[in-house]
Structures are given as structure tokens and as C-alpha cells.
Amino acid sequence: MGAALCWLAVSLFTFFLGLRLTGNLSLAAPARLERLLLRATATPTRALLVGLVVTALVHSSSAVTLATVALVSAGLLPLQNALGVVLGSNVGTCTTVQFLAFDFTRFAFPLAGMGAAAAAVLRGRWRRLALGLTGFGLLLSALALLSRALTPLAALPFFSRLLTHWTDTAPRAFFAGVLATGLIQSSTIFTAAVMTLADQGFFALPQAIALVLGGNVGTCADTLVAAIWSSRAGRRVALAHLALNLGGAVIFLPCLDPFATLVSLTGLSPARQVANAHLLFNLITALIALPFVRPLARRLE
């Protein structure tokens, strides 16, 4: 058990480091995060697209949402357009999960090694691109390490009972996802763990999707905490982020089994199905919520 916990800690550290390094891809672009977000001030639809692209670049919906809170607090970004950015960031964060669903683990260490070697000799924008490549390699390495850690842990009766207890019903799995993601502060890492466990057959697809839905709500925790010291406008963005994610989960949870049946047709492996469920949930939720962004903004104000 000690070795498994050690591998688990190493995999989580590698994942966090990989996510941090992949953020260098956005820094390689000429515009900074705030400047990209300010270009979204035209319409909520354009804001959604910009939020999607920026989050896909920085690989962190939390970073984009926190930057949005800061811009709204400073009076630089209208609330209704900030809500579009939040919806886009929910979809943009799915790009990392989609990438991880491909079986590229055999390329993990070569990618990380090549990126690190290139970063040692390059400078400026090219060095940031090399660090981003290193980050992708580390993300794939973390998945392999996570699988190595969870396999012996899942063989323990205590761990097996814990998984069964927290996933025996959809509401319980949902709340487990909220709690776990709120604690680790990364829905990407949590979703990757769910993909790994689902691929190893520890729970069925509906339970895995319920966990992912909970993860989408749990990722609002850091934004809510940051908003405590923000202005009233910033707190409105944080509350809207929670309302949008929670509202989407409330819509999908009663339809979990039909949704799981639909998702099962989109991929062969459970990991791919979980990744596709994550993408479809956020995309459908964003499209449903987008027409109501202006009324929601007025209501919050």
C-alpha cells in the first residue's frame, strides 16, 4: 500500500507540473491572457469563443475564470460578456481531457525529454513552446503513473468498499465529485482519475459521468473563495459560474442513463466515453445557457 500511495503522490505532482508547463503555450502567443479576454467585449457569443480558445491554451478554466473576475471587478469587462467567457472556459477545459483520452502514453517520456532538452538551449517564445511540449509529455506520464498507483490500491478491500459506497447511486457519485474536485482544485486531474478507474472497470459509465458532473461543480470552489475579497461585480461572476455549472448538472442528472447510452456510442474505451461525456455536457450546457446570459446578468445586477 505504501508503494501505491507513493506512486499516487508522484502521479499527482507530475500532473500539476505538466499542467503548469503547458501554460507556457499561451505565453508563447504575443497577447497576454487579460488582453485576449478584453477582446471578448463585443458580444456574449464572441466572449464564449474567446473563453474557449484561451482556456484551451492555458489548460486551466480556473485561471481564466479568476482573470475574468478580476477584469469585471476593475470595470473593464461587462458582466454579460464575462458570463460568455465562463461558458467558453467550461468547454475549453475539455481539450486537455480529450487529449489525455488518446492512447499516447508510449510517447510520454520521449515528448517530455525532447521538450526539456529543447528548453535548455532555446530562448524566448521558442523556449516557452518547448516547455509546453514538456508539459504535454508530463501529463501523459502522469496518466501512466496514475494507472500504476490505482491498480494495487483498488485491490484493497477498503478502497473497493469506498469506491462502491460513493458511486452506488448517481446523487452520491455527484456529491463525491464535488467534494473531491473542491479538495484537489483541479477538475482535469479528477476527470483523468475517473477515466483511469472507468477504464479498469471499477464503476459503470453512468456513475463515472455523475462523478464528472460533480467535478464540474467542484471546480467552482477556488473562484468562490477568491471572490470573497473581490468587488460586488466580481462576486456576481463567481456566483454565475456556480449557477451555470450547477444548473447544467441538475438538467443532466435525471437523464443520466439515456445520456450514458448515447455517450457509449461515441467511443470504444470507457476512458474515451468519459472524455466525450465531459465534452458533450459542457458544450450542450453552454449552448443552452448562452441565450439566457443577458437576462441572468440583469438578474445578478
Torsion sign across C-alpha atoms 246, 250, 256, 260: negative
Report d(CA 63, CA 19) in Å as an integer: 12
* Cβ atoms of residues 11 and 149 within 8 Å: yes
- Those residues with Cβ within 8 angstroms of residue 147's Cβ, 6 or more apart along the chain or in another chain: 196, 199, 200
Instruction: Quote the CA–CA distance of 146 and 141 in Å, as a whole number.
Output: 9
Report the predicted TM-score, pTM, of the whole model to 2 decimal places.
0.77
What SS3 class is residue 230?
A: coil
C-alpha span between 133 and 127 (Å, rounded): 10
- Which residue type, as a one-letter code, is found at position 245? N
Alpha carbons 54 and 42: distance in angstroms, whole number: 16
pLDDT in tens, the chain (301 residues): 566 567 667 666 676 666 666 555 544 444 455 566 666 567 788 888 888 887 777 666 777 777 777 777 777 778 888 888 888 888 888 887 787 777 666 666 777 777 778 777 777 767 777 777 777 677 667 766 766 666 666 666 666 676 677 778 888 889 988 888 877 777 777 888 888 888 877 788 999 999 999 988 888 887 787 777 777 877 888 888 888 889 889 999 998 999 999 999 988 888 899 999 999 999 999 998 888 888 888 887 7
Contact 21, 132 (CB under 8 A): yes
Interatomic CA distance for residues 204 and 149, integer angstroms: 20
HSE toward the beta carbon, residue 42, CA cutoff 13 A: 9
